[in-house]
Every structure is written in C-alpha cells, then in structure tokens.
Structure 1
Amino acid sequence: MSSAPQKSKKNKPKAILLAAAGLAVLLCTVLWSSLFKPYPVEGKKQMLAIGAGDTYSGFIDRLAKEDKVSFPVILKLYQKLMIHDTLKAGVYEVRQGMSVREVMQMISNADNAQMNRILVIEGTTFKQLIDALKKDDLVTHEVSNLPYAQILAALEIPYEHPEGLFAPDTYFFAKGESDKKILKDLYLRQMKALDQAWANRAPDLPYKDKYEALIMASIVEKETSLDSELEQVSGVFARRLKLGMRLQTDPTVIYGMGDKYAGNITRQDLRTPTPYNTYTISGLPPTPIALPSKKAIEAAMHPDQSSNIYFVATGNGGHKFTATLQDHNRAVQEYLAVMRSKN
C-alpha cells in the first residue's frame, strides 16, 4: 500500500517536464506559424502596397482573411510590444524567404519603400487631390502649394479651372516623385480618356465640345455610385438639356457652396444663385464639379435612349427613373415612405 504514492511522486517531475516540453513545442509552433513563417510570395519577389491610413491591425486581419498567416493575435501582440511606429504608406519589395516578422518591420519605415501608391478616388475634387499630395511625405512638393492658376501654368494646361482634368485611379510612382510629375501624368491620362470617348461618342449629344461632356461626366459621377445607372443618369440630364429644362442636381449646388457646405442643403441653398446652382441657372455649370472616372466619361458620351427625365433615390440603394412628373411624384412618395419605415 505504501509503494503506490512513492511511484506517483517519482513520476511527477517527469510529467512536469513532459508538460513543459509540450508547451514549448506548442509555443514554438505558434511563433513559427505567426512570426517566422515565410511571407507568401509569388516568384522571387513581389510588391506590397500600403495605403495612407492603413493600420497594422487592418493589415494583419487582411493577411489572416487571405490565409497567409496564422494566429493573428500573436502578430498584433508582437506589433504592440516590438514595433512602435505606424505603417508607412508606400510600395515595398517583399523577397522570397522573408518572414512575416521581417515584413512587418520593413513596412514601419518609409525609407524601405520602393514606390509610392497614390489613390485618386473617383468623384473627389481637385482640392481633395491637392490636399492628399500635400500630406504625402513620399512626394516631392513643387507645385501643390501654389494657387490653382499657377499650378495650371506650371503644368502647361490650357484650361482656366483645374476641376475634372485629372484621372481618378490608383497609381504607383517612384518614391520622391514630384507632385508636378504626378499631376501631369494624371492630366494626360484624363485627356486621353476624354479624347477617345469624344471620338467615339453617340450622335446628337447636347454638348458644344468635349469640355462640356467632361462637365456632364462629373455630374453623372456625383449622382450615382452604381455603374449600372451611369448611362441612365446621363440620359436624364442629356434629355433635360435638349428640352431646355434645368438640371436641378444637388451636387452642383453643393460644389457652388464651397466651404459653406456643412453636410446638408436647405431650400434656401437651392434658391441662392451661384454659377453652379442648376436650380437657378439653365444649362451646364461653368466647370466640372469633381474628378470623373473613365466610366462616367463614357456614360456622358453614351446616354441611354429611354424617355426618362426624372429620377429619385429608392431608399434601398439605387434610383427610380421615370418619364412623367406624375410618376416621379409617386416615386418620391415611395422613397419618403421607405425612409419613414427606417426611423
């Protein structure tokens, strides 16, 4: 009876050692799978783009979602304890064999960036583009601090107003590239898209020239976020121009308000004349009101062939297009009913 407890006592240190060894193996497995596992690279090297505003947490979550890393919580803990800098925007070269830990360290230092990623979002304004370039530490600032007229002169652009002249997209430039070179590149791309679309435009458009078509494209861009609606919106406004109806589009009013716009427009705003208020002026505003995408430019050149001259939001995404005022008023009431049901 007395031998059993002795045997148990002799086995206890061995059990502790085995448990410790098991934990060590588990810890090593977890660390390797998270920190020291090779970062997945297609080929010998590939470029990794980090955008302005990206965070380590978001970056790690993205890797985990794509099954590129395991135990994301370990990566986040490592970052909190060992990497005290934030992610730095840029495009980094990841070489085959680099560990996840090495990649995380690399993207905390902008000096490691090979290229700079510039995101120009469709529908944003020239002012927003300039502000983004000013804040980008990887851009050499030559012209972005100049008045708009001087920027256009420096870029040799033969227009009086910069709005709409620069193509929205995601671009990659060498680290340290000048804002002048970037803006010139974006301008040339937009002009190429505009020239091609104008050359292949539909017949009988209500525009005097391609610049008026660009103005229309910017309005279309601001009125809908759905690609499937671009030509329908374009069609409504093109028919209004032909009929002599005012465009009565809120985005032009907002643009004309400038810094006075605080998130809402009132009936008084709709009645207050500005060069851009299409509730008080006939025809198109004097310039574009945003940076239109290539899709919006194409839509301005190819409006749909329906008879619709009205549209209103549905409240559930998208718009309802109608040909008569009676149907439009009914659609407005349907929209209001949907909005009331959500409150």
Structure 2
Amino acid sequence: MKKRLILLALMLPVLVIAAAAASLVWLIDQPLTVANERVEVQIPRGASMRQAANAVADAGVSVSPSTLYWFARVGGHANRIKAGSYAFENGVSPRQIVEKLVRGDVLLQSLALIEGWSFRQVRALLDGHADLAHDSKGMDEGELLRQIGASEAHPEGLFFPDTYHFERGTSDLDLLRQAYGQMQSRLNDLWSKRAEGLPLKSPYEALILASIIEKETGQGADRPLISSVFINRLRVGMLLQTDPTVIYGMGEKFDGNLRRRDLETDTPYNTYTRAGLPPTPIAMPGGAAIEAALNPAESDFYYFVARGDGSSEFSKNLAQHNRAVREFQLSQKRKGS
C-alpha cells in the first residue's frame, strides 16, 4: 500500500504536466473571437513574447495571454517574434497568431506615386501620410538627396512612379530610397537598350526628355511619335518650344493660364527662349515615357498639336502645323461655345 502511494505521488506531477500539455495542445488550435471581427495590433520593436501576448489580448482577441506565451515558449518561438503592425480576424487560433508573429506577416500600407507628378506633390503626399515616419519633413532637398544616396543635385524626376507597400512606421526616406533605386534601375536598363544615334548624352538627359514626353502625352499610343518630334528638333538644333517646361519654370506663379508674355519671359526652363533640354526633369516619367525617349518612332515630324480628344496631330513642316492648329483650335472653340 505504501509503495502504491509513493508511486502515485511520483506519477501525479507527470500526470498534471501531461494534462496541462494536452490542454495547451487543444487550446492552441481553437478558433477565437475578435472584437468587431477584425483588429490591428502594433508590436513595438524590442517587445517580449509576454508583452506581445498581452497586446493581442488587449486589442480584443479572446485569448489568454498565458496560452500564447507558453505555446511560444515551449515551441522555442518566444525570442523569434518580429515587430510590426498585425491584423487578426474572427476564427484565428492561438497557433496561427504565434506563427504570424514569428513569420513577420505584418500588415502593409500602400502609397502611389503618379506619373507626371512633381517632386513638390510627392513631398506633400509623404508629409500627409499617417503611416509613415516623417524623417524628411523640413529637410532641404540637398540633405534629402544625400540621405537617400542620390548623386544628383536636384530631386525632380528621380523617383519611379509606382505603388509602394511598406510597414507602418517606415521612414519616408526609406520609401524615397526605394523609389530612387527603382528609377535608376529602370533608367539604366532602358539606356542600355536605346536606339543608336540619339542626341542624348546620358541617362539623365533621357530622363529629362522622358519627363517632357510624360507631360505632353494625352494618349499612350502617341508617346513614340511625340518623342520623335523632340528628337528630330534636337538633331537639327530647333527650339523644343514645349509649354510644360515653361509652366514648370514659372513655379507657383502659374495660375492655370499660359500667356504670350510667359512664353517670352526667359527662365532656365523656357524652351521657347533657350535651346536644348531644360536643366532637370520637370516631372516623374513612367517606364513607357522613358522607353519612348530612348526608342522614338522613326518619323519626319517636327510639330504636333492636341486634337482635343487626348490624341495629337503631327506635322512635317510649319505650314502643315499652322493648318492643324487652326483646324483643331477652331474645332475646340466651337465645341466650347
């Protein structure tokens, strides 16, 4: 009898541990309810598994923090969780929560940079985005370029227009660094595949031309022909005479109306008064505009005018161009009357 009592006393802790383990195994796969069916939880950098478990429960997930903690501890995951913003929905299990924290399956935010935008528009978007850390706010452009590793002196046109995904709390400088790197990669790749004999000395000059094409194009199909007009003009030394560069040079003084005196007022960006390309891009060109700049259509066009439907009418000489201007401008005035 005494031996049985001793054996039972020895086995009891083992049975208790086994029962606790079985209970934990059962609990970790049970579906949980979530407040409002979905919650977001922010796990700060350096948080312990116990702190993360408490944060998940405090956010409205019906889980015992101890269950999460001990499952992670027993499985060797307690020191492997990653910081970030996580989303949990109804039906998630404790096992899935811990696995998500270990994978770093964080909730990503998004931000879209649009073709044709100026850098001023880009900075306004970054400064107003609630999920970014605004490390560049108030930073002058020279310092900003140094921070992202750019060698150029002016930020205009250096960032590739695309939709970028990032974790909440990411530095806006990191996003700009990514967009700059993508532009450099796309530009250099297309430069290596450029047509022969272009009057462009560097990838940066191609970027400048691409930004003009981006601003001048109403329909994508016209890009290669618009590019051919500017390439033909550069080859023979004609002025580019493109309104978007004049508007860019006016800056905040532009009120939406481009007047004759604006075309006659000299600035570094006035392509009616200065030959060649302007000193910098005037906007962010997309990949299609860069492709058009480096692989223009073969044409003998030197002029184009908007038809009013987004497309352009191309002309070989000034007489044809003047007729097209009269035709389409008169047509637009009739439609507006």
Same fold (TM over 0.5): yes
> Aligned to 2:112, what secondary structure does the other structure show?
strand
Report the Cα distance in structure 2 between the residues aligned to 1:92 and 1:267, rounded to whole angstroms. Answer: 56
> Aligned to 1:118, what secondary structure does the other structure show?
strand
Superposition pairs of residues 98-113 of structure 1, within 5 angstroms: none
Is 1:146 aligned with 2:139? yes
Is 1:338 aligned with 2:331? yes
Task: Check whether the contact 2:145–2:152 (CA below 8 A) recurs between aligned residues.
Answer: yes
Out of 260, 283, 287, the residue aligned to residue 290 of structure 1 is 283
Aligned to 1:193: 186
Report the Cα distance in structure 2 between the residues aligned to 1:282 and 1:94, rounded to whole angstroms. Answer: 59
Is 1:167 aligned with 2:160? yes
Superposition pairs of residues 273-284 of structure 1, within 5 angstroms: 273-284=266-277
TM-score scaled by structure 1?
Answer: 0.67
Q: How far did 1:94 drift?
A: 8.3
1:323 to 1:175, Cα distance in 2 relative to 1, 3 A: same
Q: How far did 1:264 drift?
A: 1.0
Q: How far did 1:143 drift?
A: 1.6
Report the Cα distance in structure 2 between the residues aligned to 1:262 and 1:136, rounded to whole angstroms. Answer: 27
Aligned to 1:105: none
> Aligned to 1:320, what secondary structure does the other structure show?
strand
Report the Cα distance in structure 1 between the residues aligned to 2:247 and 2:279, rounded to whole angstroms. Answer: 14
Aligned to 1:318: 311
Report the Cα distance in structure 2 between the residues aligned to 1:304 and 1:211, rounded to whole angstroms. Answer: 20
The one-letter amino acid paired with 1:171 is Y
> Aligned to 2:314, what secondary structure does the other structure show?
strand
The one-letter amino acid paired with 1:245 is M
The one-letter amino acid paired with 1:322 is S
Out of 113, 127, 131, the residue aligned to residue 124 of structure 2 is 131
Q: How far did 1:95 drift?
A: 5.4
Larger Rg: 2
Superposition pairs of residues 19-30 of structure 1, within 5 angstroms: none
Aligned to 1:80: none
Q: Could you list the runs of 4 or more consecutive aligned residues of structure 1 that deviate by over 3 angstroms after TM superposition? A: 91-98
1:191 to 1:173, Cα distance in 2 relative to 1, 3 A: same
Is 1:301 aligned with 2:276? no
RMSD: 2.0
Aligned to 1:225: 218
What fraction of aligned residue pairs are identical, expressed as a percent?
45
Out of 270, 275, 281, the residue aligned to residue 263 of structure 2 is 270
CA displacement, residues 16-42 of structure 1 (integer Å, 9 cap, x when unaligned): xxxxxxxxxxxxxxxxxxxxxxx9xxx
Q: Runs of 5+ in structure 1 lacking a partner?
A: 1-38, 40-44, 46-90, 99-112
Aligned to 1:115: 108
Q: How far did 1:213 drift?
A: 0.5
Is 1:245 aligned with 2:241? no
Report the Cα distance in structure 1 between the residues aligned to 2:284 and 2:301, rounded to whole angstroms. Answer: 26
Q: How far did 1:153 drift?
A: 1.2
Report the Cα distance in structure 1 between the residues aligned to 2:114 and 2:179, rounded to whole angstroms. Answer: 12
CA displacement, residues 142-186 of structure 1 (integer Å, 9 cap, x when unaligned): 123201011011112101001111000111111111001000000
Task: Check whether the contact 1:134–1:145 (CA below 8 A) recurs between aligned residues.
Answer: no
The one-letter amino acid paired with 1:180 is L
Report the Cα distance in structure 2 between the residues aligned to 1:317 and 1:288, rounded to whole angstroms. Answer: 23
